[in-house]
Structures are given as structure tokens and as C-alpha cells.
Structure 1
Amino acid sequence: MGCLLPIAYCLCLWEIRKGLPGNFVETRSSYFYKSSHFLRSSYFITALAPFSTSNGGGETKHHEGCTVRLLRRRCRRPQVSDAAGEVVEVGSGVNSFKKGDKVVGMLSFLNGGGLAEFAVTTMAAMAIRPPEVSPSEAAGLPIAGLTALQSLKAIGIKFDTPNNSSNILITAASGGVGHYAVQLAKYAGLHVTATCGARNIELVKSLGADEVVDYKTPEGAKLKSPSDKKYDGVIHCATNIPWSTFEPNLSSSGKVIDITPNFTTIAASILKRITFSKKKLIPLMLVSKSGEMEFLLNLVKEGKLKTVIDSVYPLSKAEEGWAKSISGHATGKIIIEI
């Protein structure tokens, strides 16, 4: 098989090939999101996942919570890491999946690989997709959904027991991570304040947010709650908001979870720890967990969580879809269809 594009892991309508290492699975995809060792490209639907590029400051800009090395380097290719598909072959050590299983998961978010028909992935990177969940709905979940879920857990939110009354702020709430975070926070019984652009206020309200603020207004820029509530936690999905803006809006032990951490975030986080500050800044390091992926899929299956799809592009126009993703103006997820 030739190497048409880079890809590391892909999930959608995938086709597995023979001779795989023991714990690997190869698949033919229908929907993708991001990865790095391309095998072949034909039909599949790719959900464009967030992807990292270098900005002029030498730090890495992250999209949708994709945490990568903070190096000064340019990204030479789209790195799509989310995918949903069908298993066509498994390695000898694979015992959780079999040929014909419909799966979804996250490829290597360092290298991508989702813009392909075929991909190889590990057992830990994917989960069975219920028939009630469409490939396009599933393909948007892995990075953005897991980032939202793990951010809430980092604040201390639980999903198996009732939570104390907590006030949560979610910035960039109409984006890929943000729109999942709003829904998951409401599912957990939290009071949600959200920021977004004026055109998306009604959408974010429909997802369950209790208060929605236009980030371009003076109050929105200050991140103030319209009801003057202090935040027990913040899921920070935007960029370029300093700690000094968050701090006066936090409760006495409030936490800010930064899903796009850079050197400044990490340094500030360390400083908060060594000074024993009760208010904390926590950089999120996303980890792929199949159990959490199954939890999200079940919520979608039960109608308690949905993927908002901004737009769908054919593979021939994947570059346009990628450009929209990088522009930061997408509402929800972008899907690439083959």
C-alpha cells in the first residue's frame, strides 16, 4: 500500500489489513478527525478535529484541546485525529474487537492521520459505536468530547454521584469543546455561564447554558456573570485571556482548566502550587480513555448529548474545511465526507 497522506490512527469505515502487530487494529474509514501514517484514500467521512500550529510567539496554538509539544515549528500537514468506522482486521493480541465492529476513537493527536480510508490503531484508542449513533455524530466526539469531560473532572465534577451546587464558566462555548462542555455540565447538574459570539447565543442557550454573555461586550470581556455569581470552575476553551481576568471572578477555591496550555500557563500553574494558592490554574493534558469514550457514546445514544455539526465538506474540499477550522469561526464540528 502506498503512502498517500500521513495517518497514524483512524476510525470510521476502516479496513484492516493482514500482518498487523499483536495489539493493533486496521480499519477502513467513513468519518475521520486527525492522524499520521496514511495508507490509502477513497471513501470515508472525516470529521476534522482540532489541530496544532505554531504561532509567532514560539508556543503552540491548540485547537479543540489537542495538547502537543510546545515547540517552535510549523505544521506541514493537516493532522486529523478523530474517526469512526468499521474494523476489517485485527492483530493476534486484540481481544476487544472483531471484524465488522463499528468503532470510533482518537488517533495520535501528535501526528494525526484521519484523512484516509485506511488506518491502524490500538485497542485502547477506540470504542464500539452504538447503532443509534451515526458515524458523523461519533466522529466529532473523541478529542472535543473527551477534553470537555476531562476538564469537568479536573474541576472535581462527578458523573456517577450528585454534585454540590457549583457555578461553572465555559469560554468559547459554541466551539467544538465548548458545546460539549455546556451539555455535560448541565447533565451533571451545574449552573452554567457561557461566553460566545452574539450570533451563537441562542444556540448555546439551547444546549442548556443558564447565562450566556457576548464576549465582545465590556461585561463579556471581564467574564462577569450576569447574576454576579463567582465561578467554582472555568473551562477555558478560548485563548489570550490572562489570569488577572479570571481571578476576581473565581470563588475562594476556584479552578481554571486551560485546554490550550502554553509555557505561560504552565509557569503560572506551577507558581500557584508553590505559593499554596487556593485558586488554581490547571493545564489539561488529554488522555484517550475508551471507558470515557463509551460514556459519551451512551449519552449520545440516550439523547442526552449531541454533536453540533457546523458544516460538511467532500474530501475534494477538505482544505476549505480545514481553513474554516483553523479560522476559529466554526460552530461545533466540521465534517469531511468521502
Structure 2
Amino acid sequence: MKMAAKLMHAVQYDGYGGGAAAFKHVEVTVPTPKQNEVLLKVEATSLNPIDWKIQKGMLRPLLPCKFPYIPATDVAGEVVDVGPGVKNFKAGDKVVTTLGQQAGGGLAEYALAKESLTVARPPEVSAADAAGLPIAGLTAHQALTDSAGIKLDGSGKKENILITAAAGGVGHYAVQLAKLGNTHVTATCGARNLDFVRSLGADEVLDYKTPDGAALKSPSGVKYDYVIHCATGIPWSTFEPNLSANGKVIDLTPSGSSLLTFVSKMLTFSKKRLVPLFVTSKHQNLDFLVNLVKDGKLKTVIDSKHPLSKAEDAWAKSMEGHATGKIIVEP
């Protein structure tokens, strides 16, 4: 099915800043897949904090590479056309993918994806559930398996883990994945989400606004072997007394100060470390997560769904930073 010269609805912005108010609803030409690309009819797109951080200019001069820019990258949909060299997909296939921040393109009716970052989506996994997975799910997965060495088949030695901001996009996946391993999970979240985070499997849950929650103290007194740090603004001095002898804080949103801590701990040969995480999208990891959802071992919790025509509402909600689970936009 060739989509030549057909128009589609898309949401874009023309420069840095402005938040949701800077969005423009436009009609643009449906793109044509090039070598090793697939064209998707978008069924669901999820938003991630990185999306609005790019708009704020926090990653300039790297991203976006050019304006106007159609934001968002985590997309589930149906293949409608394939470019030269594509071997694994054909029109009609249901898939999930991450588009890459350079290209963007998620807030539109059609999007181009690299075959190498696209995986099949079984019928048991809805478009919205799949769209939540790529950035948030892969971040949680890599923090636990690559950085913390947790074996998700439960075969590793018992580890005590703290997950901050456990009700958020990354955090809610991290709790569920951690509990597939041999772990005791302490989690922090806001008061309204305590029961929700317990329902994900956390062994202990702290309201981050209470004194013990702010101090990250485990109710049972355990020291943490690993912290999956999904929040921001917590200094090293708060983590350090709560860590086991070789405890590590895996920082998912490294800042200048956390990178300085990382370097200073390396230089002083400290056994307690801060480790910045820079996620790389891997096809096999995304496929692994999709299959966990299919098997009922992992779930995407959806905070809210918004039509593409009201993408501004989804964007504003993401920028507020209090979503429980994932924010989804549907054409």
C-alpha cells in the first residue's frame, strides 16, 4: 500500500520552550519508508519526560536536530508499508517500536520506524499497553539487569532494592520487574499511591513526604544493595547511610552534581557508588518485555488516554510530573 502524497494530522512545535501552548496541529505528507524502515499507522503513543525536556532545550544543541519537530517516540501500530531491505515485517503486522529522539514523529497518524528497533506485538498485548514499554520499560529493565545484575528468573542471590518515584512510568515497571528477581523491594511514592505501589508487588512502601520517606529509611531497617533512582533532587548524603557496604545508586536522570559524585566515588575507591544510567534501545530487550506483558507477568498501568486532537492535555499532564503509570495519546 503506497501512501504517496497522502496527508496526515500531526502535532509539532517550531522552536524551544512554550510547553503545550507551543503545539501546532498541522497536515503534513505521510512519510515514505527508506532502506530498512517501516511505515506505521499509529494506534497509540506514550509520552516520556525526555519528550518535554527536549522541547525545553535541556538537550540542545543535540536535540531536536531540526525544526519543526514532531515529538514523542514510543509507538504501537500497524505496518502499512515497508522500505527496501525490510525482511521481518509486512503490511498488516502489529508492532511496537521506539522511533529515536533524533527523528521523533510519534504525535502523528503515521510514523517511520527502523526495522531494527521494531518488534512484533501479539494480539494479547493492546496498542496502549505496548506503547508504554519502550523507553520506560527498557530503562527499568536495563537498570535492574545490566547495572544491578538482577536475574529476572529469580535465580540470583537475595538483594535489597530501593525504587524511588515508584508510581511513575519507569518506577511502576521497575517494581514489577524487580519482583521477578530474588529481591526485597522498598519503594517511595506519594501518599495517594501507597496502595497502588503495594499492588505492584513492593514489600515496603514509603510516602516520600514523611520524615522516614524523605530520609529513605526502610521500615524494616534493611540497607539497600541497589537504588533504582527514578526521582530527582535527592542528594548523595541522603542515600549514603541507607546503603549496604557495597551499595550502588543507579541514577536514571544523571545531573551535573550526580556525575561529580560518580567521579569522586571512583577517585576515592569508595565501595558505595553512584552509577549513571544511559539507556540504549535493544530489540531483544523490548521483545522480552512485550512477552512478559503477554504472559501476564508485567503490566502497563495507564494514567490517562488522550486523543491526538488534544495532545496538549497529555503534554501538560506529563510536564506536571505526577502521572501514575503512563500517559497515552491515540489518533
Q: 2:75 aligns with which of 66, 76, 83?
A: 83
Once the two structures are superposed, residues 166-194 of structure 1 have per-residue CA deviations (whole angstroms, 9 ceiling, x without a partner) of 00000000000000000000011210000
Unaligned stretches of 5+ in structure 2? 14-28
- Say if 2:177 is the partner of 1:178: no
The structural deviation recorded for 1:5 is 4.2
The structural deviation recorded for 1:164 is 0.5
- Say if 2:23 is the partner of 1:31: no
The structural deviation recorded for 1:82 is 0.5
- 2:227–2:249 contact (8 Å) kept in structure 1: yes
Alignment of 1:86-105 (within 5 A): 86-105=78-97
The aligned residue for residue 241 of structure 2 is: 248
The structural deviation recorded for 1:124 is 1.8
Q: 1:22 aligns with which of 27, 30, 35?
A: 35
Alignment of 1:52-201 (within 5 A): 52-53=51-52, 60=58, 79-153=71-145, 154-160=147-153, 162-201=155-194
Q: Tell me the secondary structure at the aligned position of residue 268 of structure 1.
A: helix
**TM-score, scaled to structure 2:** 0.85
The structural deviation recorded for 1:96 is 2.0
Comparing 220-229 with 274-283, greater Cα deviation is found at 274-283
- Say if 2:226 is the partner of 1:233: yes
The aligned residue for residue 47 of structure 2 is: 48
The structural deviation recorded for 1:52 is 4.6
Once the two structures are superposed, residues 239-298 of structure 1 have per-residue CA deviations (whole angstroms, 9 ceiling, x without a partner) of 100111111111111111111112222222122222222111111111111100111111
Quick one: distance in 1 between partners of 2:123 and 2:40? Answer: 17
- 1:191–1:210 contact (8 Å) kept in structure 2: yes
Q: 1:301 aligns with which of 285, 294, 298?
A: 294
Once the two structures are superposed, residues 55-100 of structure 1 have per-residue CA deviations (whole angstroms, 9 ceiling, x without a partner) of 9xx994xxxxxxx569899x99673110101111212211122222
Once the two structures are superposed, residues 22-41 of structure 1 have per-residue CA deviations (whole angstroms, 9 ceiling, x without a partner) of 21111111111xxxxxxxxx
Quick one: distance in 1 between partners of 2:126 and 2:256? Answer: 38
Q: 1:210 aligns with which of 203, 222, 246?
A: 203
| Superposed CA RMSD | 2.6
Quick one: distance in 1 between partners of 2:285 and 2:228? Answer: 18
The aligned residue for residue 280 of structure 1 is: 273
- Say if 2:312 is the partner of 1:319: yes
Q: Tell me the secondary structure at the aligned position of residue 176 of structure 2.
A: helix
- 1:157–1:163 contact (8 Å) kept in structure 2: yes
The aligned residue for residue 37 of structure 1 is: none
Task: Tell me the amino acid that sits aligned with residue 110 of structure 2.
Answer: F
Quick one: distance in 1 between partners of 2:262 and 2:148? Answer: 14
The structural deviation recorded for 1:238 is 0.6
The structural deviation recorded for 1:317 is 1.6
**How many residues are paired up?**
306
- 2:12–2:68 contact (8 Å) kept in structure 1: no
Once the two structures are superposed, residues 294-323 of structure 1 have per-residue CA deviations (whole angstroms, 9 ceiling, x without a partner) of 111111111110011111112222101110
Task: Tell me the amino acid that sits aligned with residue 37 of structure 2.
Answer: F
Task: Tell me the amino acid that sits aligned with residue 229 of structure 1.
Answer: V
The aligned residue for residue 20 of structure 2 is: none
Change (3 A) 1:72 1:337: closer
- 1:6–1:112 contact (8 Å) kept in structure 2: no
Identity between Structure 1 and Structure 2 (%): 57
Task: Tell me the amino acid that sits aligned with residue 170 of structure 1.
Answer: I
- Say if 2:261 is the partner of 1:268: yes
Quick one: distance in 2 between partners of 1:59 and 1:91? Answer: 32
